[in-house]
Amino acid sequence: MTKEEFADHIANDPVLYDSILGAGGYEGGFGRGVSPEALMITIYFMYPLVRFVIREIGLPWLHEASRYSDLWRLRFDKWIDEEYHKQDIDVEKARKAGVALREELRKITDKNDRKAWEQLAALINKK
Quick one: DSSP state of residue 122?
H
Residue 29: CB partners within 8 Å, gap ≥ 6?
14, 18
State the DSSP string of 57-90. I--GGGS-HHHHHHHHHHHHHHHHHHHHHHTT--
Write down the number of H helices and E strands in the chain. 6, 0
Q: What is the pLDDT of residue 127?
A: 61
pLDDT digits 0-9 by tens, 12-60: 898 898 888 888 876 654 455 667 777 778 888 899 999 999 988 888 8
